[in-house]
Amino acid sequence: MKRWIAIGLVVLVLGGIIVYNKVLHPAPGAAPGGGGGKGDAGKGGPGGKGGAPTSINGFVVIRKNLREDVVSSGSLLAAEQVDIYPEISARITQLNIREGQPVNKGDLLVKLFDADLKAQLLKLQAQAENARRTEERNKQLLERGGISQQEYDIVTTNLRSSLADIELVKANLQRTEIRAPFSGIIGLRNVSAGAVVSPNTLIARLQQVSSLKLDFSIPEKYGATVRNGSSVSFLVDGSTKPGQGIVYAIEPGVEEQTRNLRIRARVNNASSSLRPGAFARVTLTIQNEQSMVVPTQAVIPQTRTNQVVVVKGGKAQFKDVVTGLRTAGTIQILSGLSVGDTVATTGLLFLKPDVPVKIGKVITLPTEGTKVAAN
């Protein structure tokens, strides 16, 4: 019984193999069921050189405005700023600071007690006058031979010493006056009239805010594209209108810790709408020019290069290209293509060199410029 069962299984397996080879999977060039199939011989499958053209979507290479921006964080600083400290320890006798008000260069802000210095100056002036008369008399005696040259030199030395003492006291008197070193806005004062101050006492802060400085940093790779005169835009908190600035100074070296390059721009603040110390979001335009672009999906990444499929004469041609800036939807082409070339954007995995292709649809890109933000 078992023998007949085994024989039956062998017969079924052999029969299945014959049916599969002859009917379901005929040899190349044979028709199903073992027929010759002469009518199908010589035809290739889809995408083959002898088959029907593969239908794809295409894109005509164009030039469009491609813009690259570097976005960075910055700070607004006063064009000039100074903390006002007294040079000597003394009592304030006159305080001409009006908080938050403009002052002009040279205006007297603070006057310190100077009565002792003025008295000392009067004493030295009297001594100098006496020394001058003595020098005149001794000069006449020297001409007549009444005194020696050495005695005359001692008199002239005393006169010059008296005059030097006068200049020293005058310099000390100048230290009792604190004047504005430049025109600007005086801040909040920290002292009152009659207070005794020392060189460590901060009286107030003076800032020039008619123009501001904008400090920010960018990655070092963009350093070669920035120069004096480049324009920047920025936004501060609480404002929806962007401000404008002009680059006027670039740090010669790169910061070792961050590998960033510090840049300083000048901002006009004639309206005093901007305040020093404010945070600013800075946008610096690195590139803004017409460039060749293709859709992102048209570029085939390779190990050492990038390729695109160009459709010419109804056939696919693979070309190496050099790419540049990338956006969400486009890639800049630096070389390898020409304006007007048609590149494939779909079916790239099924295309081979010189296979027939048919363009079913031509896609387009938006007409506005492309903006790339590099943080």
pLDDT per position as a tens digit, 156-186: 999 999 999 999 999 999 999 999 999 999 9
pLDDT score recorded for residue 35: 40
Is the dihedral angle over the CA atoms 111, 117, 121, 122 positive or is it negative? positive
In DSSP terms, 366 is beta-bridged to none
CATH number of the CATH domain containing 297: 2.40.420.20
Provide, rounded to the nearest whole percent, the portion of the chain with pLDDT above 90. 45
C-alpha to C-alpha distance for 8 and 223, rounded to whole angstroms: 84
In DSSP terms, 4 is beta-bridged to none
Coil, strand, or helix at residue 117? helix
pLDDT score recorded for residue 347: 83
Q: Are residues 87 and 182 in the same domain?
A: yes
Q: Is residue 267 part of a domain?
A: yes
DSSP 248-306: EEE-SS--TTT-EEEEEEEEE-TT--S-TT-EEEEEEEEEEEEEEEEEGGG-EE-SSSE
Q: Are residues 215 and 75 in the same domain?
A: yes
Domain count, the chain: 4
C-alpha to C-alpha distance for 262 and 244, rounded to whole angstroms: 18
Q: Are residues 367 and 311 in the same domain?
A: yes
Does the structure show a pLDDT above 60 at 26?
Answer: no
For residue 20 the two structure tokens come to 């599969």
Q: Is residue 347 part of a domain?
A: yes
For residue 133 the two structure tokens come to 């008369």
Q: Are 203 and 195 in contact (CB under 8 A)?
A: no
pLDDT score recorded for residue 329: 80
C-alpha to C-alpha distance for 139 and 133, rounded to whole angstroms: 10
Helix runs in the chain, H state only: 2-19, 115-144, 149-174
Q: Classify strands 260-268 and 54-60 as parallel, antiparallel or unpaired.
A: unpaired
Query: Cβ atoms within 10 A of the Cβ of 91, count?
Result: 11
- Chain centre distance of CA 226: 8
Range of the domain at 145: 82-197
Q: Are residues 134 and 191 in the same domain?
A: yes
Is the dihedral angle over the CA atoms 260, 249, 372, 60 positive or is it negative? negative
Q: Which of 352, 310, 362, 358 is nearest to 53 (CA)?
A: 358
Q: Are residues 9 and 101 in the same domain?
A: no
Calculate the alpha carbon distances from 344 to 205, 259, 310, 327 in Å.
66, 40, 6, 19
Q: Is residue 49 part of a domain?
A: no
Q: Are residues 90 and 162 in the same domain?
A: yes
Backbone angles phi, psi at 46, to 5 degrees: -60, 135
Residue that terminates a domain, selected from 197, 224, 253 = 197
Q: Are residues 299 and 274 in the same domain?
A: no
Of 116 and 45, the one with more pLDDT: 116
pLDDT score recorded for residue 7: 67
pLDDT score recorded for residue 118: 94
Q: Are residues 175 and 247 in the same domain?
A: no
Q: Is residue 48 part of a domain?
A: no
Q: What is the dihedral of CA 158, 164, 166, 168, to 10 degrees?
A: -140
Q: Are 102 and 212 in contact (CB under 8 A)?
A: no
Provide, rounded to the nearest whole percent, the portion of the chain with pLDDT above 70. 83
Q: Are 172 and 120 in contact (CB under 8 A)?
A: no
| pLDDT tens per residue across span 99-109 | 999 999 999 99
Q: Is residue 203 part of a domain?
A: no
Of 28 and 230, the one with more pLDDT: 230
Q: Are residues 235 and 280 in the same domain?
A: yes
Does the structure show a pLDDT above 70 at 51?
Answer: no
For residue 50 the two structure tokens come to 């002898």
C-alpha to C-alpha distance for 187 and 323, rounded to whole angstroms: 54
Q: Which of 22, 208, 181, 49 is nearest to 105 (CA)?
A: 181
Q: Is residue 302 part of a domain?
A: yes
Q: Is residue 114 part of a domain?
A: yes
pLDDT band at 209 (very low <50, low <70, confident <90, very high): very high
Q: What DSSP element (H or E) covers 328?
A: none
Is the dihedral angle over the CA atoms 150, 151, 157, 160 positive or is it negative? negative
Calculate the alpha carbon distances from 246 to 30, 96, 304 in Å.
79, 36, 40
pLDDT score recorded for residue 29: 42
Calculate the average pLDDT of the chain.
Answer: 83
Is the dihedral angle over the CA atoms 320, 321, 326, 330 positive or is it negative? negative
Q: Are 92 and 109 in contact (CB under 8 A)?
A: no
In DSSP terms, 57 is beta-bridged to 361
pLDDT band at 10 (very low <50, low <70, confident <90, very high): low
Q: Is residue 47 part of a domain?
A: no
Q: Are residues 74 and 212 in the same domain?
A: yes
Q: Are residues 161 and 301 in the same domain?
A: no
Is the dihedral angle over the CA atoms 337, 340, 346, 347 positive or is it negative? negative
pLDDT band at 14 (very low <50, low <70, confident <90, very high): low
Does the structure show a pLDDT above 90 at 369?
Answer: no
Coil, strand, or helix at residue 341? coil
Q: Are residues 183 and 113 in the same domain?
A: yes
